[in-house]
Amino acid sequence: MIVENTLAKNIAAAGDKAAYDAACKRLLANKVILAWIMKSCLEEYRDFDVDVIAEKYIEGDPQIAKAAVNPDEEAESSGEQVKGANTEDSTIKEGTITYDIRFYGIAPRSGEIVSLIINVEAQNDFYPGYPIIKRGIYYCSRMISSQYGVEFTDTQYQKIKKVYSIWICANPPKYRKNTINRYAIQEENLVGDVAEKKENYDLLTAIMICLGHSGDGKYSGLLKLLDILLSPEKEPEEKKKILQEDFHIKMTKELESEVSELCNLSQGIFEKGEARGEARGEARGEAKIIKSMFEKGFPLEQIAFAADKSMEEVKAIIEGKETILA
């Protein structure tokens, strides 16, 4: 029987997932992909071509898992938190928390710098113990509060820059598939009829992009692009062809390499999953036979001989103490 203890299993799974997640982030951090997201979701860029956005309005190189969300403001202000070149923050409750992808964008019309953040969430559970949108709004709030001492000081609140938190969910529930939702601050007149300048309150927006599959009338544009890009089923050459022909994305060596790497990691995880499934099935079948023999009164020595196992292994299976490969 193939068995694996919980620690070893978790280490292997974490390693696979970490490599896949890192490849997703690198792929999504390509400026042309970010430009597609910006044009499709952010009103500041709606009227501009993707190539123009990528070339002119994304400042510098996007940071990938480098900028800290920093939930420990109190520890930082009291001097309890030591910061190094890594700028990542760790807490006992949440571990190290960094933004997946963060970058600055330049607003085309005003020339003002707009702080943008992209967060990638490729998970099966759309509600991992909490509504993801609340986390998105929290990230927006952190990006605003962290501007103090950097973008503005004292009472210079007019210098606060607008922030976005954009979440890409690869495996949402059925009712959310092929949807894009925006959550922003709106003005509402309760008494009287007066309007504040929008730029004075429109400071944070969270966007949820929930991917689906073809066959849906909404499956086009950005939803199709991201689904093709992150699909674990399509081969690299098929992805490259669709990206070039349908979205006019030039295949640079870097982008080709990242597309291929993500496909290879996806295939590796799929094959490992199949192997674990087969091993788990065999192990459970063997365990069932061993327990059945014990219940029918066969001696432990005879069961161990028939199963080609030690007495300790047989006892562990009968007592339910042996961990089957997951």
- Tokens encoding 28: 């999504």
- Tokens encoding 279: 């091993």
Of 11-25, 94-108, 189-203, 289-303, minimum mean pLDDT range: 11-25
Encode pLDDT of 32-53 as tens digits: 999 999 999 999 999 999 999 9
Confidence of residue 12 (pLDDT cuts 50, 70, 90): very low
User: Domains of the chain: which residue ranges?
Assistant: 21-65+100-252
- Which amino acid does the sequence have at 159? K
Q: Give the single-character DSSP code of 175.
A: G
CA-to-CA dists, residue 138 to 61, 70, 132, angstroms = 24, 11, 10
Confidence of residue 69 (pLDDT cuts 50, 70, 90): confident
- Count of CB atoms situated within 10 Å of the CB of 271: 10
Mean of pLDDT values over 281-300? 76
CA atoms within 13 A on the CB side of 60: 10
Indicate the average pLDDT of the chain. 78
Alpha helices by DSSP H, the chain: 6-28, 31-41, 50-56, 73-77, 132-145, 221-230, 236-247, 253-295, 300-307, 311-318
Q: How far apart are CA 274 and CA 277, in angstroms?
A: 5
192: pLDDT strictly greater than 50:
yes
271: pLDDT strictly greater than 50:
no
- Which amino acid does the sequence have at 29? A
- Count of CB atoms situated within 10 Å of the CB of 62: 25
Instruction: Please tell me whether the overall predicted TM-score, pTM, comes out greater than 0.85 for this model.
Output: no
**In this predicted structure, what is the pLDDT of residue 88?**
38
Percentage, residues of the chain above pLDDT 70: 73
Which residues on adjacent β-strands are paired with residue 114? 105
Question: Higher model confidence: residue 214 or residue 281?
Answer: 214
